[in-house]
Amino acid sequence: MRGGNLVLILILILLVFFWLRRRARLGRPVFMPRLGRRPRRVTVAVQGARREAEVYASGATAGAPLLLCFHGGLGQIERFARGSGLSSRGPARGYVVAFPSAPTGWVDGRPELGESTQDLDFVEVLIEKLAVDLRIDTSRVFAIGVSNGGMFVERLAAERPALLAGGAAIIASVPARMARSVAEAPPLPFALICDRNDQIMPWHGGQIMRGQNRGYGGEVIPVEDVLELWVHRNRAVATGAPVRVAGPEGHFVDIQDFSAQPGGAPLRFAAVTGEGHRWPRWPAYRGTTGFDAGEVALDFFAHAVGPSVGARQRDASRSARA
């Protein structure tokens, strides 16, 4: 009996070892420690409701750009902040980073979620409050969203584009009903990062998977059509062939940049072959090149609007001290 228990313990140890090794190779956090920097909780009133966001900043905030990070439909702020790394990467680049909360998910343009504009108004009021409290630069507000949050960024870019200097939708498509309004809005620097193996948000369009713990469903257009409507909207043209970034265990991503024609805006498209409906990331490992969707989006924002926002923030801080 003791021998059998010992074999079972050894098997469990091996299973844990291989699980930890695989997570490390794919850049997944092995443990989930609490975030080192405590966020500032911000509360605003919108259409008679109380809405909240958690805000991270490093150093001076006056004149800093703002990065809005929208969680998925079933996500939580703290988990998204940890899993994406944006709570640390954003401040390190000079951003004030805000994680707005939508406990029941974002109203992203799918008919299944209704017509409410409260989420859009929430974003506008939140920006106004941070402009007063932290003196952020309202001309440099960027948005990154994942899944349902990514589709909400698409809606934001369609219905309130003047609020944003750039946006990124990650493992997200465009609801069929929103396609025309997204396409017809003014040009806006934008990054699309989608996974070919996404089992929730279908690459070829159609119905989003729904059911217990799967969200509300709804129809989205194919990723190729999303890219086409953004190319048209931004009056953008491809700048050379896609660049392939190889990752571990058959993971790779093809990154294509598009430059703006007169009156347009740049565009970045990243087609990932990875694990499906998860934040796309992996570390450099045994000759492979590291990849992180957040870094790709932040790099794009820095190039799309000129000098690095982090560099400009540092320059502003130096000027203030001089």
Residue-wise pLDDT tens digits, 207-248:
998 755 556 789 999 999 999 999 999 999 999 899 999 888
Q: Over the stretch 151-184, which tens digit does the pLDDT of each residue have?
A: 999 999 999 999 999 999 999 999 999 999 999 9
Rounded to whole angstroms, the Cα distance separating 319 from 322 reads 5
Residues belonging to the chain: 322
Pairing of strands 166-170, 141-146: parallel
Mean pLDDT computed over every residue of the chain: 86
Cβ count within 10 A of residue 13: 10
pLDDT exceeds cutoff 80 at 288: no
Q: At what angle do helices 293-304 and 309-321 cross, to 10 degrees?
A: 60
pTM of the model: 0.84
pLDDT exceeds cutoff 70 at 314: no
How much of the chain, in percent, has pLDDT values that exceed 70? 82
Predicted local confidence at residue 37, as pLDDT: 63
Q: What residue ranges do the domains of the chain occupy?
A: 42-321
Q: Over the stretch 83-100, which tens digit does the pLDDT of each residue have?
A: 899 999 999 999 999 999
Predicted local confidence at residue 317, as pLDDT: 35
CATH architecture of 42-321: 3-Layer(aba) Sandwich (3.40)
Local confidence band at 29 (pLDDT 50, 70, 90 cut-offs): very low
Predicted local confidence at residue 296, as pLDDT: 96
Q: Over the stretch 186-207, which tens digit does the pLDDT of each residue have?
A: 999 999 999 999 999 999 999 9
pLDDT exceeds cutoff 80 at 260: yes
Structure tokens at 123: 């974003």
Select from 274, 290, 183, 178 the least CA-distant residue to 227. Answer: 183
Local confidence band at 313 (pLDDT 50, 70, 90 cut-offs): very low
pLDDT exceeds cutoff 90 at 285: no
pLDDT exceeds cutoff 90 at 275: no
